[in-house]
Amino acid sequence: MDLCWHRRDLRVTDNRMLAGRNALPVFVLDEAVLEHAAPPRVAFMLDALESLREAYRERGGNLLIERGDPSAVVPTLAAEFGVDTVVWNHDYSGLARERDEAVRAALDERGINHEQYHDAVIHEPGSITTTDGDPYSVFTYFGKKWLDRDKPDPVSAPESVSDPDDPGGIPALSDLGFEAPEGSVPDAGPDAAENRLETFCDGPIRRYEEDRDYPSRGGTSRLSVDLKFGTVGIRRVYAATENAKAEAGSKEERGSVEEFQSQLAWREFYTQVLYYHPNVVTKNYKTYDGEIEWRTDEEGFDAWTEGKTGYPIVDAGMRQLREESWMHNRVRMLVAAFLTKDLLVDWREGYDWFRKHLVDHDTGNDTGGWQWAASTGTDAQPYFRIFNPMTQGERYDPDAEYIREYVPELREVDPKTIHAWHDLDDEARPDVGYPAPIVDHAIRREVAIETFERARGEE
């Protein structure tokens, strides 16, 4: 029997550490991890643990739930149950690796065998490198190699599962000291994840390339939360996309599936960036000769968090985040650009807000997205290419459907007026309780460019 330590792999099927084992599964509620967590993610995680426990019960076993420091809990359990080996799947952030190192050391000290597997990604960090063996710092070649490589099939389920006498209870959110999440949280667990995967692969994936940028079309998979918590296996996701490709009726549809697969490669690209540069969480990946002079703008930051900047697409996104603990990708790019360029607020403040509110917050993807928008990242947006929130809104939400869904004040306002909000003078702007723009984009754009040029020493 092996002690199988679940972390961000909350499923029984297509789980590398479990394949073919006689498993004694455990989940440890780790105070150090909870310190960095936030209500939407903890709520999702607790529901996912219920589903995981149920899945084990269906196999005649149960999931042990423990609380404490894994470097104390895991070796103690291993000794108590006399297991052969302790197994877990790798996690790639700096904090997770420190924790795992401490557990490894504690197990070594007690002479307990342990093994680790790469599970959360298809191609683990270090397996796709330049010809010199260095990690890639731009996506293009990484992505091409990632797509060209053979992909592993989903792995088998455990052979058997133990049913310990005292498996421990799954706490409520409040027992862990968290408030209820402000926004809704998606259904958690393997069935919900499989449902999202199948629904997406049955149709939207074939139009993904066209639809993915239009937030009102619901054209994306919504699998980010499942990939974050591992309620679905990445090999299973890839296999489903390959089936969709085989069933695609045209070159365009096949291209759409490949576009989706390439997003999975982006996720693994950012995972390897985080693996090799754990400090991207707090430090700019790309440095300029001088410091970027970020501003302190409490009022602007508050307006941004509340969805009251007077830029409708930005506000719709920020309100979607608070309502659904999730935001559409194109809009994430726009709100991040608005904060870091129009308001010149440090990306770390935006990242922190996202970390607290996103149910799918993933350290690699979140820092990757923020640093891209702030022009400090790996494949960073050049500092002089600054999104115009009005034209972007008009282009990707022409009928203002998305905007009107999340900004009720604008529901009765026609799309043309909404997209011209910035250009209207105060008398022409309908009095619907929605604010005038808090900054003038044209001016702020110039200020941002000058600020970045100063940081580059070009003034």
Ligand X SMILES: Cc1cc2nc3c(=O)[nH]c(=O)nc-3n(C[C@H](O)[C@H](O)[C@H](O)COP(=O)(O)OP(=O)(O)OC[C@H]3O[C@@H](n4cnc5c(N)ncnc54)[C@H](O)[C@@H]3O)c2cc1C
Annotated binding-site residue? 174 = no
400 binds ligand X (CB under 6 A): no
Alpha-carbon distance values, 417 to 314, 349, 355, 408 (Å): 16, 32, 33, 15
220 binds ligand X (CB under 6 A): yes
CA distance 227 to 267: 10
222 binds ligand X (CB under 6 A): yes
CA distance 271 to 264: 11
Stretch that binds ligand X, among 23-31, 240-248, 277-285, 325-333 (CB under 6 A): 325-333
Which position among 263, 401, 405, 409 is part of the footprint of ligand X (CB under 6 A)?
263
3-state SS assignment for residue 94: helix
161 binds ligand X (CB under 6 A): no
Beta-strand ranges (E) seen in 307-371 are none
Annotated binding-site residue? 362 = yes
Stretch that binds ligand X, among 61-69, 108-116, 215-223, 309-317 (CB under 6 A): 215-223
333 binds ligand X (CB under 6 A): yes
Which position among 365, 375, 392, 451 is part of the footprint of ligand X (CB under 6 A)?
365
- 67-70 own/partner pairs: CB under 8 Å, 24+ apart: 67/28, 67/29, 67/31, 67/168, 67/171, 68/28, 68/29, 68/30, 68/31, 69/30, 69/31, 69/32, 70/5, 70/28, 70/30, 70/99, 70/102, 70/103
341 binds ligand X (CB under 6 A): no
Q: Which is nearer to ligand X, 81 or 294 (CB)?
A: 294
Which position among 227, 359, 418, 448 is part of the footprint of ligand X (CB under 6 A)?
227
**How many residues make up the chain in this entry?**
459
Count of residues that bind ligand X according to CB under 6 A: 28
Q: Are 65 and 29 in contact (CB under 8 A)?
A: yes
Stretch that binds ligand X, among 20-28, 43-51, 360-368, 386-394 (CB under 6 A): 360-368
| CA torsion, ordered 417, 422, 424, 427, to nearest 10 deg | 100
Alpha-carbon distance values, 245 to 14, 44, 149, 241 (Å): 21, 31, 17, 6
Annotated binding-site residue? 344 = no
Stretch that binds ligand X, among 19-27, 175-183, 361-369, 389-397 (CB under 6 A): 361-369
Q: Are 348 and 354 in contact (CB under 8 A)?
A: no
Annotated binding-site residue? 265 = yes
Stretch that binds ligand X, among 22-30, 182-190, 264-272, 276-284 (CB under 6 A): 264-272
Residues placed in the known binding site: 208, 220-224, 260, 263-270, 360-362
Binding site for ligand X (CB under 6 A): 212, 220-224, 227-228, 263-264, 266-267, 270, 329, 332-333, 336, 354, 358, 360-362, 365-366, 368-370, 373
- Residues forming the annotated binding site for FAD? 208, 220-224, 260, 263-270, 360-362
